[in-house]
Structure formats: structure tokens, C-alpha cells
Amino acid sequence: MRRMCCVCQRIEEKRAWRYVPIKENEQLTHGYCPECFQAVMLELQALVVLKYKGNNKAMKSGKVQQQRGLGRGDACA
């Protein structure tokens, strides 16, 4: 079973992440490629820093989530 990055849709093939065709009826599992994982972690770290730097109003009002396109109660697919 090959892994597909849930952000950029690249597929891990022989320890390299590439855009390759998916075979019909192929089973895939999802995760993050190293580049997308790093970007997501940096974004998460920035949100945590924003929250704990006294900017709780933006977090509580949902402004940060709305800027990313996520509303309250939305979940990642």
C-alpha cells in the first residue's frame, strides 16, 4: 500500500515523493510528505504562539480559523 500526501497529493514511491499516476483499484493510505509536514507544523506553531501571546480574542472569535477557511466544528478530511 502506497502513501499519498493529504496536502499536495504526491505519492511516496521508493522513499521519494512524486506525482505519479494511481493505478485503478489501488489502495492508498494518507499522510504528509516531509515538505508539507514541515509547512503544517510551522503553521501550527504560529497559531499556538499567537494564542499564547495574549491574542486570545482572535482565536476565540474564530478569525484565525476563518482566515484558513475552517469554521468552528469543521474537521479535516
Residue 72 has pLDDT above 70, yes or no: no
Domain, as residue range, for 50: 2-68
User: pLDDT digits over 6-40, tens only?
Assistant: 999 999 988 899 999 988 999 999 999 999 999 99
Residue 47 lies in a domain: yes
Dihedral-angle region of residue 73 (phi above 0 means left; psi in -120 to 50 means alpha; beta otherwise): left
Specify the number of domains making up the chain.
1
Residue 76 has pLDDT above 60, yes or no: no
Residue 76 lies in a domain: no
- Kindly compute the dihedral angle of the four CA atoms of residues 19, 23, 25, 29, in this order, to the nearest 10 degrees: -30
Q: Where are the alpha helices (DSSP H) in 1-62?
A: 34-52, 56-61
Residue 19 lies in a domain: yes
- Mean pLDDT computed over every residue of the chain: 79
Question: Could you give the 3-state DSSP secondary structure of residue 5?
Answer: strand
Q: What is the pTM of this model?
A: 0.61
